[in-house]
Each structure stands twice: as C-alpha cells, then as structure tokens.
C-alpha cells in the first residue's frame, strides 16, 4: 500500500511539473508577440505626422508611454492633478482652443493617456484638434484616405522565384 501511495504521488508530481512547464512556455510565447500601433495626426496644420507604426509593448505600458517611446523628446507634457497632459508633439503645441486628444481602436478615450493600459492589437491615434467646437469623428482609415499620404494597402505578393512581382510600366515610359 505504501508503495502505491509513493507511485501515485510521484506520478502526480510529474504531471504537475509537465503542466507548469508547458503553461509557462505558452505565456512567454504570447507575451513576445504583444504589439500595438501608433499614428499621429496633426490635422490641417501638419497632416499625418506618423503613419501607423507597429511597436512591441510590455505589460502595463500605456498610450502615453508608447507615444514617448516612439517620439522621444518630441513629446511635451505636463503633469496635472488629473494626470499627464500632452501639450505638444513635434512642435505642434496645444493652445486656448486646441488640444492633443487620442483614441484607441477608433473610439474616443475615456481616461488620460497615462492611465490607458495597452492591449495587444490596440491602434492608438493621437490627433491635434485645432478647435474644440469642431472635433473630427473620422476613423483612422478615413483620415488616412483624406490626406492620402500613408500606404494602407497590403504588400504585393512575391513571385514564384521569391522576388517581388514586377508591375508593368505605363505606356510611353522607357526603362
């Protein structure tokens, strides 16, 4: 009987060890793939300042920390009683009737950029609003289409030999 208990205990420990090892490996694998995209729209003043850029994110990273990581010292902010206020990005400064706002996944943010914890797959857009009475409700895609300066199409498929497919030149163009 003692031998049976010992064998059951050993088997249970072995199964538990395998399960814990597998669970930890899966967690690490998924954590390495956490990304979010950041875009910056300066509206009519500067147009598209940053086309959507995918970045690796860590647990606990915020919309503000992503902005600061990508833009570095081009972000001017001030800590206020309600949180951190983005005053300017790349020289475009908020004023009496203007501000920097942000949205996530085409939805207006409900908390400050320093409080929003990013999730993998989030698309964060910082937008300069020149007039509080006329805030754009455009989606990121609508804004990019309006300005027309970012490539939003998928990359062309590669040819059979692994090289990109060659697009025919318009008539009259010499190579």
Q: What is the pLDDT of residues 31-86, one digit of tens each?
A: 457 999 999 999 877 899 999 999 999 999 999 999 999 999 999 999 998 889 99
Exposure of 20 in the CB half-sphere (CA atoms within 13 A): 6
Q: Which residue has the higher pLDDT, 130 or 43?
A: 130
- C-alpha angle 80-69-65 in degrees, rounded to nearest 5: 35
- In CATH, 33-146 is 2.60.40.10: no
| Spatial separation of the C-alpha atoms in residues 43 and 173, rounded to whole Å | 36
From the number of C-beta atoms within 10 Å of its C-beta (0-12, 13-18, 19+), residue 96 rates as exposed
In 3-state terms the chain splits into helix, strand, coil percentages (rounded to 5) of: 35, 30, 40
Contact (Cβ atoms closer than 8 angstroms) between residue 92 and residue 47: no
Cβ 131 vs Cβ 123: under 8 Å: no
Condensed to tens digits (0 to 9), the pLDDT of residues 99-124 reads 999 999 999 999 999 999 999 999 99
Model-wide pTM > 0.75: no
Tell me the C-alpha to C-alpha distance, in Å, between residue 31 and each of 56, 80, 104.
10, 32, 20
CA separation for the pair 110, 92 (Å, rounded): 23
């Amino acid at each position: 009987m003692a031998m049976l208990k010992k064998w059951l205990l050993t088997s249970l420990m072995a199964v538990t060890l395998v399960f814990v090892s597998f669970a930890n490996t899966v967690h690490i694998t998924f954590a390495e793939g956490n990304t979010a995209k950041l875009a910056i729209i300066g509206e009519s003043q500067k147009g598209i300042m940053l086309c959507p850029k995918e970045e690796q994110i860590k647990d606990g990273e915020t919309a503000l920390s992503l902005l600061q990581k990508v833009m570095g010292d081009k972000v001017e902010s001030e800590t206020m009683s309600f949180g951190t206020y983005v005053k300017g990005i790349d020289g475009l400064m908020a004023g009496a009737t203007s501000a920097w706002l942000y949205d996530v996944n085409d939805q207006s943010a409900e908390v400050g950029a320093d409080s929003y914890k990013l999730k993998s797959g989030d698309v964060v857009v910082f937008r300069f609003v020149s007039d509080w009475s006329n805030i754009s409700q455009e989606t990121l895609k609508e804004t990019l289409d309006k300005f027309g300066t970012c490539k939003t199409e998928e990359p062309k498929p590669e040819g059979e030999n692994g090289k990109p497919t060659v697009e025919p030149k318009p008539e009259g163009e010499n190579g």
